[in-house]
Amino acid sequence: MKAIQLNQFTDNFNELELVEKQMPTPGKGQVLVKMFYSAINPSDLNYIRGDYQVALKRLIWNRANQDHTPSFQPNGHHPHPELPYIPGGEGVGMVVGSGGGILANRLQGKRVSVSAGPPMGTWQEYTIVDAKKAVVVPQTIDDQQAAMLLINPLSSYGMLTDVLNVKKGRWLLQSGGASALAKMVIRMSAQLGVKTINIVRRDAQIAGLREIGADVVISLQQCSDDSVVAHIQQQVHQATAGKGVDYALDCIGGQILEAMLPCLTIQGQMLLYGTLAKADAQVFSRDLMMPCAKIHGFFAGNWLAQKSLFEKIRLMRGMKKMALSGCFNTPVESVYALEDISEALTAATTSGKSGKVLLKFC
Ligand SMILES: NC(=O)c1ccc[n+]([C@@H]2O[C@H](COP(=O)([O-])OP(=O)(O)OC[C@H]3O[C@@H](n4cnc5c(N)ncnc54)[C@H](OP(=O)(O)O)[C@@H]3O)[C@@H](O)[C@H]2O)c1
């Protein structure tokens, strides 16, 4: 079977290799999935460039032995993958084999959305996933939407309703406002009665976001580097009548994070969940102290791992309601064959795209 293999961390997408591999065999509690589509997400690029590896090595629990593969959790669970690695965090396919166990056996022959990851991803014709990470897809959801059903919907829903626990009538400021995830936040916020202020890079994105329910859109297109912070803060001041926002979601970092932090009102909360600008930010302690504000980090895998079975069921029920009302619908920008992985990755990282780039397996 064909697979996309990462042999070394790289920024050069031509270095990913299309290889022939043995079909993997599922162990107990796992299923073998024949893949149909897989999404290309920013998190896949973090694996490819080695960003997660660098980030994990900084953490105290990975300091003891710098020669060991760093781990996503302090107890050594979920180690970062060793190279060579087959990337791909999610996708959709058909369960064609089971390694045994009640759940895995019950999934046989079912179309499932999967979230995968170390030790192997979804960018291969057949993959293995833990049966608990395979969700049966209702008939009403087509294959392409099913390929994007887990990572962004779960993260956006979890951040809004669980971590921030947003309340009706409050203001939420978010960066990366035109991203697939941010659009989910806009739609869900509109349903929950939360008003959103959305920061984007281009004027052309304003109308589309207003259409799906954004209250305010701040475009930085006309700003010079020196005027970004003042522009964001002046617009937030105006929109909230000088009060500031109750919640802030940042996936960019750097100057944007620095601009957003002083926009928090009393007991405001900021949640950091992405680093798209790849730039450090300076945090002034008193921006948090004076408003008694909080700053949190979010990483979906580790957040979900803290949840009990009961809490997970409750989250799934809430997400289902949002899914049925169209909150998670994501346009597809383009679809590529595995052979064209380099072009697919270039398309996925091209600025101004209007939807997700998918890999198709045939
Ligand atoms: N922490 C977690 O567990 C978790 C889970 C899911 C997603 N995420 C994060 O959520 C973010 C959005 O994911 P997605 O799948 O929705 O992404 P996406 O659809 O690919 O959209 C990315 C957006 O970010 C903007 N962007 C990229 N680089 C930027 C920069 N340097 N400055 C300003 N804007 C920039 C792009 O703007 P243009 O439109 O102008 O190109 C685009 O609108 C990513 O950072 C991802 O890693 C985190």
Residue for token pair 């008694």: 292
Please say whether the beta carbons of 1 and 126 come within 8 A.
yes
Please say whether the beta carbons of 326 and 187 come within 8 A.
yes
Q: What is the pLDDT of residue 204?
A: 96
Q: What is the pLDDT of residue 77?
A: 87
Q: Is 277 in the pocket of ligand 1 (CB under 6 A)?
A: yes
Quick: pLDDT tens for 254-271.
Answer: 999 999 999 999 999 999
**323 domain-assigned:** no
Q: Do both 42 and 132 map to the same domain?
A: yes
Q: DSSP assignment of 39-99, as one string?
A: E--HHHHHHHHTHHHHHHHHSGGG-S-TTSPPBSSTTS-SBPPPSSB----EEEEEEEEE-
Counting from 1 in the atom list of ligand 1, the atom nearest the Cα of 275 is 45
C-alpha to C-alpha distance for 241 and 69, rounded to whole angstroms = 50
Q: What is the pLDDT of residue 186?
A: 98
Element (H, E) at 356: strand 356-360
Q: Look at the chain and report how many structural domains it folds into.
A: 2
**321 domain-assigned:** no
Name the residue with the closest Cα to ligand 1, atom 39: 352
**50 domain-assigned:** yes
C-alpha to C-alpha distance for 59 and 276, rounded to whole angstroms = 20
Q: What is the pLDDT of residue 203?
A: 97
Q: Do both 187 and 294 map to the same domain?
A: yes
Q: Do both 156 and 297 map to the same domain?
A: yes
Cα 179 to ligand 1 centroid, rounded to whole Å: 5
- The rounded mean pLDDT for the chain is 96
The three-state DSSP-derived secondary structure of 331-345 is CEEEEEEHHHHHHHH
C-alpha to C-alpha distance for 175 and 198, rounded to whole angstroms = 6
Q: What is the CATH number of the domain that holds 71?
A: 3.90.180.10
Q: What is the pLDDT of residue 36?
A: 98
Counting from 1 in the atom list of ligand 1, the atom nearest the Cα of 303 is 3
Element (H, E) at 359: strand 356-360
pTM comes to 0.97
Q: What is the pLDDT of residue 67?
A: 78
* DSSP 3-state percent helix, strand, coil across the chain (nearest 5): 35, 25, 40
Counting from 1 in the atom list of ligand 1, the atom nearest the Cα of 355 is 19
Q: Is 45 in the pocket of ligand 1 (CB under 6 A)?
A: no
Distance of CA 36 to the CA centre of its chain: 20
**313 domain-assigned:** no
Q: What is the CATH number of the domain that holds 183?
A: 3.40.50.720
Residue ranges of the chain with per-residue pLDDT less than 70: none
Cα 254 to ligand 1 centroid, rounded to whole Å: 14
Q: What is the pLDDT of residue 165?
A: 97
Work out the number of other CB atoms within 10 angstroms of the CB of residue 346: 14
Q: What is the pLDDT of residue 119?
A: 87
**211 domain-assigned:** yes
Name the residue with the closest Cα to ligand 1, atom 28: 276
Residue for token pair 């045939």: 362
Domain containing 47 equals: 2-148+330-360
Q: What is the pLDDT of residue 118?
A: 86
Name the residue with the closest Cα to ligand 1, atom 45: 274
**322 domain-assigned:** no
Which strands, in side-by-side order, build the sheet including 294-297?
Answer: 216-219, 195-200, 171-174, 245-250, 264-272, 294-297
Q: Do both 162 and 124 map to the same domain?
A: no
Q: Do both 167 and 242 map to the same domain?
A: yes
Residue for token pair 């791992």: 305
Cα 177 to ligand 1 centroid, rounded to whole Å: 9
Please say whether the beta carbons of 258 and 282 come within 8 A.
yes
- Our mutation pick for probing the ligand 1 site, out of 201, 209, 334, counting the most ligand atoms within 8 A of Cβ, is 201
Quick: pLDDT tens for 42-88.
Answer: 999 999 999 999 999 999 999 987 778 899 999 988 999 999 999 99
Q: Is 255 in the pocket of ligand 1 (CB under 6 A)?
A: no
Q: What is the pLDDT of residue 68?
A: 83
Q: Do both 167 and 144 map to the same domain?
A: no
Q: Is 39 in the pocket of ligand 1 (CB under 6 A)?
A: no
- Our mutation pick for probing the ligand 1 site, out of 44, 162, 251, counting the most ligand atoms within 8 A of Cβ, is 251
Q: What is the pLDDT of residue 227?
A: 97
